[in-house]
Every structure is written in structure tokens, then in C-alpha cells.
Structure 1
Amino acid sequence: MTTEHSPAPFGRALCAMITPFTEAGGLDLDGAQRLADRLVTRGCDGLVLSGTTGESPTTTDAEKAALVTAVREAVGDRARLVAGVGTADTRHTVELALAAEQAGADGLLVVAPYYSRPPQDALEAHFREIADASGLPLALYDIPGRTGTRVEPDTLVRLAGHPRIVAVKDCSYDLLGTQQVMSRTSLAYYAGCDEQILPLYAIGAAGYVSTVANVVPELFRAVLDAFDAGDTGRAALLQRRAVPLVGAMMAAGLPGTVTAKALLGALGLPAGPVRAPLRRADRGTTDALLSAYEELTGQLQV
């Protein structure tokens, strides 16, 4: 018995990649290239650049474009590159979309405008204007806990009729609403919350966009591979084994950007500091992250 998955326009195993900075706070393009190569070599077939985890609110437009260009140079055609271009300003988002297309992105991630909380008709018009502006396919990012605005299921159903709106990164925490959209459209659903990767994949999602993949890129790829091979027991075991690290990175009161950079730095991998108003994780937090990481990687080798 097999599960019918939605199409995967951006790959199935995606990492929401951090944006490495130098200790002085500048963009570390060499570090970004080394990290991207590691992620792709160890299982990711897609990378999301300049998303929330990539600190998009505090990187400049020029830095966002330079990041796409550098990562494309590093990974070539081994992975799809999705550029986060969402802002609270439709005009600015269009400008970023066009710049990402020119820099070599394969697709765009567009979050619902935050803070202003537009009603659903305005939200729909916002997404359509961006989809009309460039030739790249779009993934809509539904994360009302951060934006304050839900992309309602009926709105997603209507937007699915646009030829360039092809996917959803789902952090809605609304399993019923997600299934309603999946049952009525061909939108590719990507789990945007690491604890939901296997549950959503089991009901037909295309894959995931993971923050935890920054440090263990092979983990959730193994979950999908086991499920596809019919070994649902192993897929469930791997998902459960990830829980302590997922909790430490995503549910401990700090943004995933902070915890991912702390752990990457402790492992000697490209990361650097976060930009204000975010602050580095303290030593105790970093030690706890390392402990959860070491426990998980030890289990993966068994």
C-alpha cells in the first residue's frame, strides 16, 4: 500500500538554511557556500534562503540577492533554491521577487504580510500580484503564529488556480484545514514544523522545509525514505528519536535561528552571530543543544 503524494516542485527534503555571518556581522558568502554544499551532500534536494531562519528581516536586498548567487554557484543543479521574498509591503515583495529571479532562484517563498493583518481579499490580491510579477513558481507560507494573519483554506483554494502558485509551506497547526486544501487542490504541501514532517507526509504532503536540517540534514530525509520504502515503523521511530532535538531547537523559547546558529557554531560549522534584535544563545542553552544533538546522532548510528 502506498501513499499518493502531491507533486514536489522544489524537491522533497528542504532545509530552511541559516544565513552565515562573519564575527563582525557581515554576510559570510564563503560560509554560506560551504554550509549549502554540506546540506546538499548529506541529503537536502532543496534549500530555502532568506526565510525566517535565514534572518530575512535584518538582511538587505543586496545581501539576499548575493546569497542566492553564491549558493547557486556552490550547489549548481544538485538542489532547487527557493528565495524568501515575503515582506509586509507588496511593492517591496515584488522587487525582491524580481531580484531573486535574476540572481538564479528556482522559486519564491512568500509569507503572509505581517503586522498589518490584511483581510482575506487583500491577502489574495497581494499573492496574485507577486505571482504575476515574475516567471518563478511560488510557495505560500502560512504561519499565523508569527504573521498574525491566517491564509484561510478557502483563500488557498482560490489561489491554487493561479498557474505559478504551486505550493504551501504549512505552519498553520490546523490539520483539518490542511487536509481540506489538499483534498480540493493540487498544491504541493511542505511541512514547515519539524514535529509534523511524518504526519503530513503520511497524508500526502510533498515533503518538508526543516530548520533542524541545518545540523542533521540526513535525518528527515531518512524518515521520508523509510516511509516510501514501506518501512513505516522505522519512519515513525526516526521521527520520535528527533523529538528531543526538535524540542530543544524549536520549542525552548528561542527562535530556531538562534538555536541553529548556536549548535552549528559549537560543531565548527559556518554560522556566526545573529543580528539584533536577536541575541546569541547562552552557554547553558548551547550545552543542552549539543547534548540533544549527540544523543540523536548516536542513535542514528545504531
Structure 2
Amino acid sequence: MTSTGTTARPFGRTLCAMITPFTEEGALDLDGARKLATWLVAEGCDGLVLNGTTGESPTTTDAEKSELVAAVREAVGDRVSLVTGVGSADTRHTVELALAARKAGADGVLVVTPYYSRPPQEAVEAHFRAVADAVALPVMLYDIPGRTGTRIEPETVIRLAAHPRIVAVKDCSYDFLGAQKVLAHTDLAYYAGCDEHVLALYAVGAAGCVSTVANAVPGAIAAILDAFDAGDTARATGLQLRATPLIEAMMGAGLPGTVTAKALLTRLGLPAGPVRAPLLPAGRDAADGLLTRYEELVTA
């Protein structure tokens, strides 16, 4: 498949990798999830990614994943796309999660590379094909080798693009050349999964982003893409750079994005709650620093 040069947006443009709110006792907070999802949409997100890395998918049960999708769908209706993570280390389990996601009301599934077993590329490709064959939902590939230990190599992505239900990629590979190669040779919708790459990937043809930082500043992330769409590339650049200190504080300061997002949302009075073990909450100094970077951004 050769790129047509037209950017498809099967799941929207500004997607938030939404945290999963928990109660103080550690239970799933569905009311909090409804409130947070509604706020994110009102503030500029046209898509939500649930049960992903930021959503603590490794420590939520299959039932909790489905309950979260159903609750958020109830809250936002059909106004935005809902993509839900169904990845696991087991192809059969991933298929089961994908089928459950469709029943719960998801518009698409986010499928991460199988982790721990470090499968070769032939097995990686077979895994994604098995999931796409099994569920009547569009699939977003999730390339995050820093967590899974295995790339989805660009050549593998290009072959998978021929599957009619594999339509998008969430890119956390930090391989900018590889991303451009796939963009040049397929019609897949690329979404920047690293907030520092939101504008860079968009400028070479990405469909948008799946942003962790958008949990706290959805409008600021949307504004970067708005400016670029309006042809004001200087403003888009300025907005990306203005967001950089908060991006660094949330994503590059040694704590997982889930931890920093929940710490900042808590300070802002938005639904979040604790993280689940083995993660630990951010300390007071880290939370203070996050709030400072947030205030600098929103008052700039």
C-alpha cells in the first residue's frame, strides 16, 4: 500500500491516554471515570484511550476493563471515539479482551506487542493478525519497545497495514525515521504516543496524538494541533515548546506517567485516586513541582 497523502483520523485527533480513577481504598471509581472523561472531552479531546499504560492495565482485572469502557461510553455517548487497551502477553487472552471490549462499547482496540516472551517478528505479526481477524473492530498497533522488550519493526508494520482492520499505530518507539518510513508507504493513521513528539510527528503526516499530559492540560495539547492545522506553524512550535517543561516533569523526571498524572490531577481536584502496587505515589516534592510546571503553562 502506498500513502495517498491524506491523513485519516479513524479515532479522532487529540486523544488522551486516560488514567483509571480509583477510590482511596483502591477500588475502581466508575463515577470518577465518568466525570474525568466528560471533562476531558469538554476541554478538547475528541478521543479517549482507556486501559492503556497510563490506565494501569497490568493491574486491572478483565472485568474492571470492561466496566470502565461501559461507564465512559455512558458518560460521553457517541461524541468521541473510545479505544481500549486489550494487550497481554498471551494471544488467546488478548483476543478474549478484544471481544469483551467490543461488547462493552469500544470503537477500537489498542494492541501492544506481546511482552516478556520477546517473540520474533514473524510471531509478532501473527499475533496482531490473530486479534484483527477475531474481532470486528479497528485495531491500533501499540509500539512501545521500552516496556515490551520487542519492536514492531517498520517492515512488519508495513505488512500489517494490508489487513483491513489494522488502521492505526500508537508510536512510542522513539524511531522517527522508522515512523516516517511507515507514513510514506502506508495509509495507517500514526498517533504520537510520546508527548514530546506531538508536533514533530504531526508535521510529517501523523493523524494526531495519544497524550498522557492531556490528562491535566487537554486544551494545551489540542491547541498545538489547532495551530498547525490553521497554518500557523510558528505558533504551533511555540505552544509545543511552552508545554515542554510540564511534559518533562510528567514524562521525563524518573516517574511513570501514571504516577505523575494522578499526582497532578489530585492537586487539581480532578478524579484520580491512588496508583496500584507495584507503583508508588509521587512524593510531596514531586507533586509540588508538577503543580508549579502546570501553573506556569496555564498562566503563560
Query: Which range, TM-score by smaller chain?
Result: over 0.9
Distance 1:235 1:276, change over 3 A: same
Aligned to 1:204: 205
Segments of structure 1 that go 5 or more residues without pairing to the other structure are none
Aligned to 1:8: 9
> Shift of the alpha carbon at 1:6?
2.0
Aligned to 2:76: 75
Aligned to 2:51: 50
Counterpart contact for 1:20–1:29, Cα < 8 Å: yes
Aligned to 1:183: 184
Aligned to 1:273: 274
TM-score by length of 1: 0.97
1:147-181 CA-partner distances (Å, limit 9, x unpaired): 10000011001000000000000011111111111
Amino acid at match of 1:101: R
Distance across 2 between alignment mates of 1:292 and 1:220:
15
Aligned to 1:169: 170
Counterpart contact for 1:153–1:178, Cα < 8 Å: yes
TM-score by length of 2: 0.98
Aligned to 1:243: 244
> Shift of the alpha carbon at 1:5?
5.0
1:235-254 CA-partner distances (Å, limit 9, x unpaired): 00000000100000000100
Identity of aligned residues (%): 73
Counterpart contact for 1:245–1:296, Cα < 8 Å: yes
CA root-mean-square deviation: 0.6
**How many residue pairs get matched?**
296
Counterpart contact for 1:16–1:213, Cα < 8 Å: yes
1:219-245 CA-partner distances (Å, limit 9, x unpaired): 111111111111111100000000100
Superposed, which structure 2 residues align to 1:210-229 within 5 Å? Answer: 210-229=211-230
Distance across 2 between alignment mates of 1:259 and 1:18:
10
Distance across 2 between alignment mates of 1:178 and 1:35:
31
Aligned to 2:284: 283
Counterpart contact for 1:114–1:149, Cα < 8 Å: yes
Matched, 1:23 2:24: yes
Amino acid at match of 2:225: L
Matched, 1:145 2:149: no
Amino acid at match of 2:68: L
Distance across 2 between alignment mates of 1:78 and 1:239:
26
Distance across 2 between alignment mates of 1:214 and 1:79:
16
Aligned to 1:160: 161
Aligned to 2:117: 116
> Shift of the alpha carbon at 1:266?
0.8
Distance across 2 between alignment mates of 1:248 and 1:220:
15
Counterpart contact for 1:13–1:221, Cα < 8 Å: yes
SS of the aligned residue for 1:242 comes to helix
Distance across 2 between alignment mates of 1:5 and 1:23:
46
1:55-113 CA-partner distances (Å, limit 9, x unpaired): 00000000000000000000001110001000011010000000000000000000001
Amino acid at match of 2:38: D
SS of the aligned residue for 2:299 comes to helix
Which runs of at least 4 in structure 1 moved beyond 4 Å after TM superposition? none
Amino acid at match of 1:68: V
